[in-house]
Chain A
Amino acid sequence: MASRETLLNIGLALLLLVLPVIANYSGEPFYVTLATRIAILSLAAVGLNLALGLGGLVSFGHAAFFGIGGYAAGILATHAFSGDPLIFGLPGTKQMLIIWIVAIAAGGLAALLIGLITLRTSGVYFIMITLAFAQMIFYFAISWPAYGGEDGLPIYVRNAFPGVNTLKPLSYFLVCYALLAVGLVLFKLFQDSRFGAALQAARQNEVRVASVGIPPYRIRLVAFVISGMFTAVAGALFADLNRFVSPSMLSWQMSGELIVLIILGGVGRLFGPVAGAALFVLLEHWLGGITERWQFFLGLILLGVVLFARGGLIGLIAGRARHG
Protein backbone atom coordinates (compact mmCIF):
# COMPACT_ATOMS: atom_id res chain seq x y z
CA MET A 1 0.00 0.00 0.00
CA ALA A 2 1.57 3.23 -1.11
CA SER A 3 1.36 6.24 1.15
CA ARG A 4 -0.19 9.49 0.05
CA GLU A 5 3.23 11.05 -0.25
CA THR A 6 4.46 8.24 -2.52
CA LEU A 7 1.45 8.71 -4.82
CA LEU A 8 2.04 12.44 -4.89
CA ASN A 9 5.70 11.90 -5.72
CA ILE A 10 4.86 9.54 -8.57
CA GLY A 11 2.36 12.07 -9.87
CA LEU A 12 4.91 14.88 -9.79
CA ALA A 13 7.53 12.74 -11.49
CA LEU A 14 5.10 11.82 -14.28
CA LEU A 15 3.89 15.39 -14.76
CA LEU A 16 7.43 16.69 -15.04
CA LEU A 17 8.12 14.04 -17.69
CA VAL A 18 4.89 14.16 -19.69
CA LEU A 19 4.22 17.90 -19.89
CA PRO A 20 7.49 18.80 -21.66
CA VAL A 21 6.97 15.93 -24.11
CA ILE A 22 3.51 17.26 -24.94
CA ALA A 23 4.83 20.82 -25.16
CA ASN A 24 7.58 19.69 -27.48
CA TYR A 25 5.22 17.97 -29.91
CA SER A 26 2.76 20.85 -29.87
CA GLY A 27 5.48 23.21 -30.99
CA GLU A 28 6.16 24.94 -27.66
CA PRO A 29 9.88 24.32 -27.12
CA PHE A 30 10.01 27.22 -24.66
CA TYR A 31 8.11 25.13 -22.12
CA VAL A 32 10.61 22.33 -22.59
CA THR A 33 13.34 24.73 -21.58
CA LEU A 34 11.29 25.81 -18.61
CA ALA A 35 10.93 22.16 -17.54
CA THR A 36 14.66 21.64 -17.99
CA ARG A 37 15.25 24.57 -15.65
CA ILE A 38 12.92 22.98 -13.12
CA ALA A 39 14.72 19.63 -13.35
CA ILE A 40 18.15 21.22 -12.92
CA LEU A 41 17.17 23.47 -10.01
CA SER A 42 15.43 20.45 -8.44
CA LEU A 43 18.64 18.46 -8.61
CA ALA A 44 20.65 21.31 -7.08
CA ALA A 45 18.08 21.56 -4.30
CA VAL A 46 18.02 17.78 -3.76
CA GLY A 47 21.70 18.19 -2.96
CA LEU A 48 21.01 21.00 -0.52
CA ASN A 49 18.12 19.01 0.93
CA LEU A 50 20.58 16.33 2.04
CA ALA A 51 22.47 18.84 4.16
CA LEU A 52 19.58 21.11 5.12
CA GLY A 53 16.61 18.77 5.23
CA LEU A 54 18.17 15.60 6.60
CA GLY A 55 21.10 17.11 8.46
CA GLY A 56 19.63 20.42 9.59
CA LEU A 57 22.66 22.20 8.13
CA VAL A 58 21.31 25.51 6.86
CA SER A 59 23.98 26.24 4.27
CA PHE A 60 23.69 29.73 2.86
CA GLY A 61 26.60 29.00 0.55
CA HIS A 62 25.47 26.27 -1.79
CA ALA A 63 25.78 28.62 -4.76
CA ALA A 64 29.52 27.96 -4.36
CA PHE A 65 29.03 24.34 -5.44
CA PHE A 66 26.46 25.22 -8.08
CA GLY A 67 28.86 27.76 -9.58
CA ILE A 68 31.88 25.49 -9.32
CA GLY A 69 29.98 22.87 -11.32
CA GLY A 70 29.03 25.54 -13.84
CA TYR A 71 32.57 26.77 -14.22
CA ALA A 72 33.82 23.18 -14.56
CA ALA A 73 31.57 22.85 -17.62
CA GLY A 74 32.47 26.29 -18.95
CA ILE A 75 36.22 25.99 -18.49
CA LEU A 76 36.47 22.49 -19.93
CA ALA A 77 34.35 23.48 -22.93
CA THR A 78 36.42 26.63 -23.50
CA HIS A 79 39.64 24.64 -23.63
CA ALA A 80 38.09 22.04 -25.90
CA PHE A 81 37.01 24.87 -28.20
CA SER A 82 40.35 26.69 -28.23
CA GLY A 83 42.55 23.60 -28.13
CA ASP A 84 44.74 25.12 -25.40
CA PRO A 85 45.74 22.59 -22.77
CA LEU A 86 44.17 23.03 -19.34
CA ILE A 87 46.71 21.97 -16.72
CA PHE A 88 49.51 19.37 -16.83
CA GLY A 89 49.01 19.34 -20.59
CA LEU A 90 45.53 17.87 -20.22
CA PRO A 91 43.03 19.02 -22.85
CA GLY A 92 39.53 20.36 -22.28
CA THR A 93 36.54 18.26 -23.25
CA LYS A 94 33.06 18.54 -24.68
CA GLN A 95 31.88 15.27 -23.19
CA MET A 96 29.25 15.84 -20.52
CA LEU A 97 30.10 12.56 -18.79
CA ILE A 98 33.65 13.73 -18.17
CA ILE A 99 32.50 17.25 -17.32
CA TRP A 100 30.09 15.87 -14.72
CA ILE A 101 32.82 13.80 -13.11
CA VAL A 102 35.07 16.84 -12.93
CA ALA A 103 32.19 18.94 -11.55
CA ILE A 104 31.41 16.32 -8.91
CA ALA A 105 35.06 16.03 -7.90
CA ALA A 106 35.55 19.80 -7.74
CA GLY A 107 32.27 20.35 -5.88
CA GLY A 108 33.09 17.55 -3.45
CA LEU A 109 36.56 18.90 -2.78
CA ALA A 110 35.26 22.42 -2.20
CA ALA A 111 32.56 21.06 0.13
CA LEU A 112 35.19 19.09 2.03
CA LEU A 113 37.39 22.14 2.57
CA ILE A 114 34.48 24.42 3.45
CA GLY A 115 32.79 21.77 5.59
CA LEU A 116 35.95 21.02 7.59
CA ILE A 117 35.82 24.57 8.90
CA THR A 118 32.15 25.55 8.87
CA LEU A 119 30.86 22.36 10.52
CA ARG A 120 32.70 23.27 13.70
CA THR A 121 30.09 25.98 14.11
CA SER A 122 26.32 25.74 14.25
CA GLY A 123 23.18 27.85 14.06
CA VAL A 124 23.55 31.42 12.82
CA TYR A 125 27.35 31.12 12.74
CA PHE A 126 27.11 28.23 10.33
CA ILE A 127 24.76 30.19 8.08
CA MET A 128 27.07 33.19 8.06
CA ILE A 129 30.33 31.36 7.55
CA THR A 130 28.99 29.25 4.67
CA LEU A 131 27.82 32.53 3.13
CA ALA A 132 31.27 34.03 3.66
CA PHE A 133 33.00 31.17 1.84
CA ALA A 134 30.61 31.38 -1.09
CA GLN A 135 31.18 35.14 -1.31
CA MET A 136 34.94 34.60 -1.37
CA ILE A 137 34.57 32.29 -4.36
CA PHE A 138 32.13 34.74 -5.98
CA TYR A 139 34.62 37.61 -5.77
CA PHE A 140 37.41 35.37 -6.92
CA ALA A 141 35.42 34.52 -10.07
CA ILE A 142 34.66 38.18 -10.71
CA SER A 143 38.29 39.22 -10.45
CA TRP A 144 39.78 36.35 -12.45
CA PRO A 145 39.96 37.60 -16.04
CA ALA A 146 41.16 34.34 -17.62
CA TYR A 147 37.63 32.92 -17.62
CA GLY A 148 35.53 35.97 -18.31
CA GLY A 149 35.60 37.68 -14.91
CA GLU A 150 32.50 39.70 -14.36
CA ASP A 151 31.22 39.07 -17.89
CA GLY A 152 31.08 35.32 -17.55
CA LEU A 153 32.05 32.61 -19.94
CA PRO A 154 30.08 31.50 -22.99
CA ILE A 155 29.79 27.86 -24.04
CA TYR A 156 29.56 28.20 -27.83
CA VAL A 157 28.00 24.83 -28.53
CA ARG A 158 26.22 22.77 -25.90
CA ASN A 159 28.44 19.91 -24.72
CA ALA A 160 27.86 16.40 -25.97
CA PHE A 161 26.37 13.24 -24.56
CA PRO A 162 26.95 9.89 -26.32
CA GLY A 163 24.04 8.93 -28.54
CA VAL A 164 22.00 12.06 -27.78
CA ASN A 165 21.65 15.26 -29.76
CA THR A 166 21.85 17.62 -26.81
CA LEU A 167 21.00 20.61 -29.02
CA LYS A 168 17.40 19.43 -29.25
CA PRO A 169 15.56 20.87 -26.25
CA LEU A 170 13.63 17.68 -25.49
CA SER A 171 16.73 15.49 -25.68
CA TYR A 172 18.60 17.74 -23.31
CA PHE A 173 15.60 17.82 -21.01
CA LEU A 174 15.59 14.02 -20.89
CA VAL A 175 19.28 13.97 -19.98
CA CYS A 176 18.62 16.36 -17.10
CA TYR A 177 15.50 14.48 -16.04
CA ALA A 178 17.42 11.21 -15.94
CA LEU A 179 20.08 12.77 -13.76
CA LEU A 180 17.43 14.19 -11.46
CA ALA A 181 15.91 10.71 -11.19
CA VAL A 182 19.28 9.28 -10.21
CA GLY A 183 19.67 12.05 -7.64
CA LEU A 184 16.25 11.36 -6.14
CA VAL A 185 16.87 7.60 -5.94
CA LEU A 186 20.20 8.21 -4.20
CA PHE A 187 18.59 10.69 -1.79
CA LYS A 188 15.94 8.14 -0.86
CA LEU A 189 18.52 5.40 -0.34
CA PHE A 190 20.68 7.67 1.82
CA GLN A 191 17.67 8.83 3.80
CA ASP A 192 16.68 5.28 4.75
CA SER A 193 20.22 4.00 5.35
CA ARG A 194 22.33 3.82 8.49
CA PHE A 195 24.10 6.95 7.37
CA GLY A 196 20.77 8.72 6.96
CA ALA A 197 19.61 7.54 10.37
CA ALA A 198 22.70 8.98 12.02
CA LEU A 199 22.43 12.22 10.03
CA GLN A 200 18.77 12.77 10.85
CA ALA A 201 19.31 11.87 14.48
CA ALA A 202 22.18 14.38 14.67
CA ARG A 203 19.79 17.07 13.45
CA GLN A 204 17.29 16.18 16.18
CA ASN A 205 19.74 15.69 19.03
CA GLU A 206 23.48 15.85 18.60
CA VAL A 207 24.23 14.74 22.17
CA ARG A 208 22.16 11.59 21.68
CA VAL A 209 24.13 10.60 18.61
CA ALA A 210 27.47 11.14 20.33
CA SER A 211 26.24 9.25 23.39
CA VAL A 212 25.69 6.09 21.39
CA GLY A 213 29.21 6.37 20.03
CA ILE A 214 28.64 7.99 16.63
CA PRO A 215 30.65 11.20 16.03
CA PRO A 216 28.19 13.75 14.58
CA TYR A 217 30.90 15.91 13.01
CA ARG A 218 32.11 13.15 10.69
CA ILE A 219 28.57 12.20 9.69
CA ARG A 220 27.78 15.82 8.85
CA LEU A 221 31.01 16.31 6.95
CA VAL A 222 30.28 13.36 4.68
CA ALA A 223 26.72 14.61 4.19
CA PHE A 224 27.99 18.08 3.31
CA VAL A 225 30.44 16.67 0.75
CA ILE A 226 27.79 14.52 -0.94
CA SER A 227 25.46 17.49 -0.88
CA GLY A 228 28.06 19.66 -2.60
CA MET A 229 28.60 17.00 -5.26
CA PHE A 230 24.89 16.88 -6.16
CA THR A 231 24.64 20.63 -6.39
CA ALA A 232 27.82 20.86 -8.47
CA VAL A 233 26.61 18.43 -11.11
CA ALA A 234 23.39 20.43 -11.32
CA GLY A 235 25.54 23.51 -11.87
CA ALA A 236 27.24 21.85 -14.83
CA LEU A 237 23.83 21.07 -16.34
CA PHE A 238 22.69 24.64 -15.74
CA ALA A 239 25.72 26.06 -17.56
CA ASP A 240 24.98 23.80 -20.49
CA LEU A 241 21.32 24.77 -20.50
CA ASN A 242 22.15 28.47 -20.73
CA ARG A 243 25.33 27.86 -22.72
CA PHE A 244 26.79 30.43 -20.41
CA VAL A 245 28.28 30.54 -16.96
CA SER A 246 28.79 33.69 -14.94
CA PRO A 247 29.53 34.73 -11.36
CA SER A 248 25.78 35.09 -10.78
CA MET A 249 25.67 31.31 -10.38
CA LEU A 250 27.94 31.84 -7.35
CA SER A 251 25.94 34.71 -5.86
CA TRP A 252 24.26 34.74 -2.47
CA GLN A 253 20.94 35.25 -4.26
CA MET A 254 21.47 31.83 -5.83
CA SER A 255 22.16 30.29 -2.42
CA GLY A 256 19.02 31.92 -1.09
CA GLU A 257 17.00 30.70 -4.04
CA LEU A 258 17.99 27.10 -3.34
CA ILE A 259 16.90 27.44 0.29
CA VAL A 260 13.62 29.03 -0.82
CA LEU A 261 12.95 26.13 -3.19
CA ILE A 262 13.28 23.65 -0.37
CA ILE A 263 11.13 25.61 2.05
CA LEU A 264 8.43 26.03 -0.59
CA GLY A 265 8.43 22.35 -1.46
CA GLY A 266 8.98 20.80 1.96
CA VAL A 267 12.16 20.59 4.02
CA GLY A 268 13.60 17.08 4.17
CA ARG A 269 10.90 15.64 1.90
CA LEU A 270 12.05 13.55 -1.05
CA PHE A 271 10.12 15.57 -3.64
CA GLY A 272 10.24 18.85 -1.74
CA PRO A 273 12.90 20.27 -4.08
CA VAL A 274 10.93 19.22 -7.16
CA ALA A 275 7.67 20.75 -5.96
CA GLY A 276 9.52 23.88 -4.84
CA ALA A 277 11.48 24.30 -8.07
CA ALA A 278 8.35 23.81 -10.18
CA LEU A 279 6.44 26.40 -8.18
CA PHE A 280 9.35 28.82 -8.24
CA VAL A 281 10.03 28.59 -11.96
CA LEU A 282 6.35 28.78 -12.91
CA LEU A 283 5.79 31.79 -10.65
CA GLU A 284 8.84 33.45 -12.09
CA HIS A 285 7.48 32.81 -15.58
CA TRP A 286 3.85 33.85 -15.05
CA LEU A 287 4.17 36.58 -12.45
CA GLY A 288 7.41 37.76 -14.00
CA GLY A 289 5.44 38.30 -17.21
CA ILE A 290 2.94 40.50 -15.40
CA THR A 291 5.13 42.50 -13.05
CA GLU A 292 8.79 43.21 -12.44
CA ARG A 293 8.03 42.86 -8.76
CA TRP A 294 7.12 39.20 -8.92
CA GLN A 295 9.49 38.40 -6.08
CA PHE A 296 7.25 40.42 -3.81
CA PHE A 297 4.54 37.82 -4.39
CA LEU A 298 7.06 35.04 -3.95
CA GLY A 299 7.83 36.60 -0.58
CA LEU A 300 4.16 36.55 0.36
CA ILE A 301 3.85 32.89 -0.59
CA LEU A 302 6.99 32.07 1.35
CA LEU A 303 5.60 33.86 4.37
CA GLY A 304 2.38 31.86 4.06
CA VAL A 305 4.31 28.60 3.89
CA VAL A 306 6.47 29.42 6.89
CA LEU A 307 3.49 30.52 8.97
CA PHE A 308 0.82 28.04 7.94
CA ALA A 309 2.36 25.12 6.06
CA ARG A 310 5.64 24.15 7.66
CA GLY A 311 5.91 21.01 5.54
CA GLY A 312 5.78 23.08 2.33
CA LEU A 313 3.72 21.98 -0.65
CA ILE A 314 4.42 18.30 -0.04
CA GLY A 315 3.47 18.61 3.62
CA LEU A 316 0.31 20.50 2.72
CA ILE A 317 -0.89 17.73 0.43
CA ALA A 318 0.61 14.60 1.99
CA GLY A 319 0.64 15.48 5.70
CA ARG A 320 3.44 15.22 8.21
CA ALA A 321 6.56 13.16 7.59
CA ARG A 322 6.75 9.79 9.36
CA HIS A 323 9.86 7.92 10.39
CA GLY A 324 9.30 4.11 10.48
Chain B
Amino acid sequence: MAEPVLAISELRKTFGALKATDGVSLDLRPGEIHALIGPNGAGKTTLINQIAGTLKPDAGSIRFDGADIGGLGVAERARRGLGRTFQVSSLAPEFSALRNVMLAVQSVQGSSFRFFRPVMRDRSLTEPAMAALERVGLGARAHLPASELSHGERRQIEIAIALALGSKAFLLDEPMAGMGPEGSKRLTEFLDGLRAEAPILLVEHDMNAVFALADRITVLDYGRVIATGTADEIRINPEVRRAYLGDEA
Protein backbone atom coordinates (compact mmCIF):
# COMPACT_ATOMS: atom_id res chain seq x y z
CA MET B 1 0.00 0.00 0.00
CA ALA B 2 1.24 3.46 -0.89
CA GLU B 3 2.56 5.72 1.82
CA PRO B 4 -0.25 8.07 2.98
CA VAL B 5 0.04 11.73 1.95
CA LEU B 6 -1.57 12.88 5.17
CA ALA B 7 -1.67 10.95 8.44
CA ILE B 8 -3.13 12.22 11.68
CA SER B 9 -2.88 10.21 14.82
CA GLU B 10 -4.51 10.43 18.22
CA LEU B 11 -5.59 14.04 17.73
CA ARG B 12 -7.33 15.67 20.67
CA LYS B 13 -8.99 19.05 21.08
CA THR B 14 -11.31 20.23 23.82
CA PHE B 15 -13.35 23.42 24.10
CA GLY B 16 -13.89 23.70 27.83
CA ALA B 17 -15.64 20.48 28.80
CA LEU B 18 -16.50 19.61 25.20
CA LYS B 19 -14.32 17.01 23.52
CA ALA B 20 -14.51 18.29 19.94
CA THR B 21 -11.78 15.93 18.75
CA ASP B 22 -11.39 12.83 20.86
CA GLY B 23 -8.42 10.71 19.82
CA VAL B 24 -8.96 10.83 16.07
CA SER B 25 -6.62 8.96 13.73
CA LEU B 26 -7.05 8.80 10.00
CA ASP B 27 -5.02 9.00 6.83
CA LEU B 28 -5.30 10.05 3.23
CA ARG B 29 -3.69 7.93 0.52
CA PRO B 30 -2.60 8.99 -2.95
CA GLY B 31 -5.42 9.05 -5.47
CA GLU B 32 -8.26 8.56 -3.00
CA ILE B 33 -11.27 10.47 -1.85
CA HIS B 34 -11.70 9.96 1.86
CA ALA B 35 -15.05 11.22 3.06
CA LEU B 36 -15.52 12.48 6.59
CA ILE B 37 -19.16 12.40 7.68
CA GLY B 38 -21.11 12.74 10.88
CA PRO B 39 -23.95 14.68 12.48
CA ASN B 40 -23.87 18.45 13.03
CA GLY B 41 -21.40 19.32 15.72
CA ALA B 42 -19.55 16.01 15.41
CA GLY B 43 -16.23 17.84 15.04
CA LYS B 44 -15.56 17.65 11.30
CA THR B 45 -14.72 21.30 10.77
CA THR B 46 -12.70 21.33 13.98
CA LEU B 47 -10.63 18.49 12.58
CA ILE B 48 -10.07 20.26 9.25
CA ASN B 49 -9.05 23.41 11.14
CA GLN B 50 -6.40 21.49 13.05
CA ILE B 51 -5.03 19.93 9.90
CA ALA B 52 -4.89 23.29 8.12
CA GLY B 53 -3.38 24.96 11.18
CA THR B 54 -6.09 27.46 12.08
CA LEU B 55 -6.62 25.57 15.36
CA LYS B 56 -3.94 24.05 17.59
CA PRO B 57 -4.64 20.51 18.79
CA ASP B 58 -4.15 19.73 22.48
CA ALA B 59 -2.40 16.47 21.63
CA GLY B 60 -1.62 14.17 18.73
CA SER B 61 0.43 14.42 15.56
CA ILE B 62 -0.16 15.45 11.97
CA ARG B 63 2.19 14.24 9.24
CA PHE B 64 1.95 15.61 5.73
CA ASP B 65 4.08 14.79 2.72
CA GLY B 66 6.66 12.99 4.85
CA ALA B 67 7.08 15.60 7.59
CA ASP B 68 5.52 16.46 10.93
CA ILE B 69 3.68 19.72 10.34
CA GLY B 70 2.22 20.09 13.84
CA GLY B 71 4.44 23.07 14.66
CA LEU B 72 3.86 25.02 11.45
CA GLY B 73 1.55 27.97 10.89
CA VAL B 74 -1.33 28.19 8.42
CA ALA B 75 0.68 29.92 5.70
CA GLU B 76 3.55 27.46 5.83
CA ARG B 77 1.19 24.47 5.64
CA ALA B 78 -0.52 26.01 2.63
CA ARG B 79 2.82 26.55 0.95
CA ARG B 80 3.65 22.90 1.48
CA GLY B 81 0.54 21.95 -0.45
CA LEU B 82 -2.44 21.72 1.89
CA GLY B 83 -5.28 23.35 -0.01
CA ARG B 84 -8.42 23.85 2.06
CA THR B 85 -11.83 25.28 1.42
CA PHE B 86 -14.04 26.69 4.13
CA GLN B 87 -17.52 25.62 5.19
CA VAL B 88 -18.47 29.29 5.24
CA SER B 89 -16.54 30.63 2.28
CA SER B 90 -13.69 32.90 3.19
CA LEU B 91 -12.53 35.24 0.43
CA ALA B 92 -11.36 38.82 -0.02
CA PRO B 93 -14.84 40.23 -0.68
CA GLU B 94 -13.82 43.43 -2.51
CA PHE B 95 -11.52 41.59 -4.88
CA SER B 96 -12.81 39.97 -8.05
CA ALA B 97 -12.90 36.20 -8.30
CA LEU B 98 -9.82 36.47 -10.50
CA ARG B 99 -7.84 38.56 -8.00
CA ASN B 100 -8.71 36.11 -5.24
CA VAL B 101 -7.22 33.27 -7.26
CA MET B 102 -4.24 35.41 -8.36
CA LEU B 103 -3.30 35.70 -4.71
CA ALA B 104 -2.75 31.95 -4.65
CA VAL B 105 -0.73 32.11 -7.87
CA GLN B 106 1.55 34.82 -6.53
CA SER B 107 2.09 32.80 -3.38
CA VAL B 108 3.11 29.74 -5.39
CA GLN B 109 5.53 31.84 -7.44
CA GLY B 110 7.40 32.73 -4.28
CA SER B 111 7.56 36.27 -3.11
CA SER B 112 4.80 38.73 -2.32
CA PHE B 113 7.48 41.34 -1.69
CA ARG B 114 7.40 42.74 -5.20
CA PHE B 115 6.43 46.34 -5.21
CA PHE B 116 6.43 47.79 -8.68
CA ARG B 117 4.82 45.61 -11.34
CA PRO B 118 1.02 45.93 -11.60
CA VAL B 119 -0.57 42.53 -11.02
CA MET B 120 -3.38 43.04 -13.50
CA ARG B 121 -0.87 43.42 -16.32
CA ASP B 122 1.17 40.41 -15.21
CA ARG B 123 0.11 37.48 -17.36
CA SER B 124 2.13 35.05 -15.27
CA LEU B 125 -0.49 35.79 -12.59
CA THR B 126 -3.68 36.34 -14.57
CA GLU B 127 -3.38 33.38 -16.92
CA PRO B 128 -2.98 30.56 -14.37
CA ALA B 129 -5.68 32.16 -12.22
CA MET B 130 -8.06 32.35 -15.17
CA ALA B 131 -7.27 28.75 -16.10
CA ALA B 132 -8.15 27.60 -12.58
CA LEU B 133 -11.44 29.54 -12.65
CA GLU B 134 -12.30 28.05 -16.02
CA ARG B 135 -11.72 24.56 -14.68
CA VAL B 136 -14.40 25.10 -12.05
CA GLY B 137 -16.69 26.70 -14.62
CA LEU B 138 -16.41 30.27 -13.37
CA GLY B 139 -14.48 31.84 -16.23
CA ALA B 140 -17.36 34.07 -17.28
CA ARG B 141 -17.71 35.50 -13.76
CA ALA B 142 -14.01 36.10 -13.16
CA HIS B 143 -14.17 39.88 -13.02
CA LEU B 144 -17.04 40.26 -10.56
CA PRO B 145 -16.28 41.08 -6.92
CA ALA B 146 -16.49 37.99 -4.72
CA SER B 147 -19.13 39.73 -2.62
CA GLU B 148 -21.47 39.90 -5.62
CA LEU B 149 -21.29 36.18 -6.39
CA SER B 150 -23.64 33.49 -5.08
CA HIS B 151 -22.76 31.12 -2.23
CA GLY B 152 -22.20 28.32 -4.68
CA GLU B 153 -19.94 30.44 -6.85
CA ARG B 154 -17.86 31.52 -3.88
CA ARG B 155 -17.40 27.84 -3.06
CA GLN B 156 -16.12 27.32 -6.58
CA ILE B 157 -13.65 30.19 -6.21
CA GLU B 158 -12.25 28.47 -3.14
CA ILE B 159 -11.77 25.28 -5.10
CA ALA B 160 -10.09 27.26 -7.89
CA ILE B 161 -7.76 28.74 -5.27
CA ALA B 162 -6.86 25.27 -4.00
CA LEU B 163 -6.20 24.21 -7.61
CA ALA B 164 -4.03 27.24 -8.29
CA LEU B 165 -2.00 26.44 -5.18
CA GLY B 166 -0.98 23.18 -6.82
CA SER B 167 -2.18 21.44 -3.69
CA LYS B 168 -0.83 18.00 -2.80
CA ALA B 169 -3.94 17.31 -0.76
CA PHE B 170 -7.35 18.94 -0.71
CA LEU B 171 -9.34 19.52 2.46
CA LEU B 172 -12.86 20.37 1.33
CA ASP B 173 -15.40 21.35 3.97
CA GLU B 174 -18.89 20.80 2.53
CA PRO B 175 -18.15 21.96 -1.01
CA MET B 176 -21.66 21.00 -2.20
CA ALA B 177 -23.50 23.22 0.24
CA GLY B 178 -25.50 25.92 -1.54
CA MET B 179 -24.84 24.42 -4.96
CA GLY B 180 -28.27 23.21 -6.05
CA PRO B 181 -28.82 19.79 -7.64
CA GLU B 182 -27.36 20.71 -11.02
CA GLY B 183 -24.26 22.27 -9.46
CA SER B 184 -23.78 19.32 -7.10
CA LYS B 185 -23.86 16.93 -10.00
CA ARG B 186 -21.24 18.88 -11.92
CA LEU B 187 -19.04 19.26 -8.85
CA THR B 188 -19.31 15.52 -8.15
CA GLU B 189 -18.01 14.78 -11.62
CA PHE B 190 -15.27 17.32 -11.21
CA LEU B 191 -14.07 15.92 -7.87
CA ASP B 192 -14.18 12.43 -9.34
CA GLY B 193 -11.50 13.50 -11.81
CA LEU B 194 -9.62 15.66 -9.32
CA ARG B 195 -8.55 12.76 -7.11
CA ALA B 196 -6.05 11.74 -9.78
CA GLU B 197 -4.25 15.07 -9.17
CA ALA B 198 -4.23 14.94 -5.42
CA PRO B 199 -6.18 13.04 -2.77
CA ILE B 200 -9.21 14.68 -1.18
CA LEU B 201 -10.44 14.71 2.40
CA LEU B 202 -14.09 15.48 1.80
CA VAL B 203 -16.45 16.68 4.51
CA GLU B 204 -19.95 16.46 3.09
CA HIS B 205 -23.57 16.05 4.15
CA ASP B 206 -24.78 15.22 0.63
CA MET B 207 -24.86 11.43 0.92
CA ASN B 208 -25.45 10.83 -2.78
CA ALA B 209 -22.19 12.60 -3.50
CA VAL B 210 -20.39 10.84 -0.67
CA PHE B 211 -21.45 7.35 -1.72
CA ALA B 212 -20.72 8.11 -5.38
CA LEU B 213 -17.24 9.46 -4.72
CA ALA B 214 -15.67 8.07 -1.57
CA ASP B 215 -13.08 5.32 -1.69
CA ARG B 216 -13.24 5.28 2.08
CA ILE B 217 -15.52 6.89 4.61
CA THR B 218 -14.78 7.85 8.21
CA VAL B 219 -17.70 8.61 10.51
CA LEU B 220 -17.31 11.02 13.41
CA ASP B 221 -19.70 11.33 16.32
CA TYR B 222 -19.06 13.47 19.40
CA GLY B 223 -15.45 13.92 18.28
CA ARG B 224 -14.77 10.17 18.05
CA VAL B 225 -14.31 7.94 15.03
CA ILE B 226 -17.15 5.41 15.21
CA ALA B 227 -16.41 3.70 11.92
CA THR B 228 -14.05 3.65 8.95
CA GLY B 229 -14.50 1.62 5.80
CA THR B 230 -15.68 1.45 2.23
CA ALA B 231 -19.02 2.92 1.21
CA ASP B 232 -20.70 -0.48 1.38
CA GLU B 233 -19.30 -1.26 4.81
CA ILE B 234 -20.44 2.09 6.15
CA ARG B 235 -23.89 1.82 4.61
CA ILE B 236 -24.68 -1.35 6.57
CA ASN B 237 -22.86 -0.45 9.80
CA PRO B 238 -25.53 -0.47 12.53
CA GLU B 239 -23.82 2.12 14.74
CA VAL B 240 -23.48 4.55 11.83
CA ARG B 241 -27.13 4.07 10.91
CA ARG B 242 -28.15 4.85 14.44
CA ALA B 243 -25.87 7.88 14.92
CA TYR B 244 -26.14 9.52 11.55
CA LEU B 245 -27.61 7.91 8.49
CA GLY B 246 -30.93 6.87 9.99
CA ASP B 247 -33.10 5.17 7.40
CA GLU B 248 -31.98 7.48 4.63
CA ALA B 249 -29.34 5.06 3.26
Listed in ascending order, the chain A residues whose CB lies under 8 Å from chain B are: 189-190, 192-198, 200-201, 204-205, 207-216, 219, 222, 321, 323-324
Contact = CB atoms under 8 A, between A and B. Distances in A.
12 contacts: A194-B106, A194-B114, A194-B117, A207-B74, A207-B90, A210-B73, A210-B78, A211-B74, A214-B107, A215-B75, A215-B76, A324-B99
Contacts of A210: 73-75, 78
A212 B107 contact: yes
A216 B165 CA distance: 17
> Which 9 residue pairs of A and B lie closest in terms of their CB atoms, listed nearest first?
A213-B78, A213-B79, A192-B118, A210-B74, A204-B92, A213-B107, A324-B120, A198-B112, A201-B92
B168 to A, nearest CB: 12
B90 A194 contact: no
A211 B92 contact: no
Interface of B: 52, 54, 73-76, 78-79, 84, 86, 90-96, 98-100, 102-104, 106-108, 111-120, 122, 125, 143, 145, 161, 165
Given A204-B92, A212-B104, A214-B103, A193 B79 contact: no
Given A200-B94, A211-B78, A323-B96, 4 more contacts: A192-B120, A197-B102, A209-B103, A324-B120
A214 B102 CA distance: 12
Nearest to A216: B75
A323 B148 CA distance: 13
Contacts of A197: 95, 99, 102-103, 106, 112, 119
Contacts of A323: 94-96, 99, 145
A192 B96 CA distance: 14
A211 B90 CA distance: 10
A308 to B, nearest CB: 21
B2 to A, nearest CB: 26
A213 B90 contact: no
B103 A204 contact: no
B99 A212 contact: no
Contacts of A201: 92, 95, 100, 103
Contacts, number: 114
A324 B145 CA distance: 9
Contacts of B90: 205, 207-208, 211
B96 A195 contact: no
Given A205-B90, A215-B75, A323-B95, A198 B116 contact: no
A212 B103 contact: yes
B78 A189 contact: no
A207 B93 CA distance: 12
A215 B113 CA distance: 11
A195 B116 CA distance: 9
A198 B113 CA distance: 9
B48 to A, nearest CB: 11
Contacts of B161: 211-212
Nearest to B118: A192
A200 B145 CA distance: 14
Contacts of B99: 197, 323-324
B76 A213 contact: yes
Contact of A204 (B95, B96, B106): B95
A221 to B, nearest CB: 11
Contacts of A194: 106, 111-115, 117, 119, 122, 125
Nearest to A211: B78
B37 to A, nearest CB: 23
A267 to B, nearest CB: 13
Nearest to A209: B103
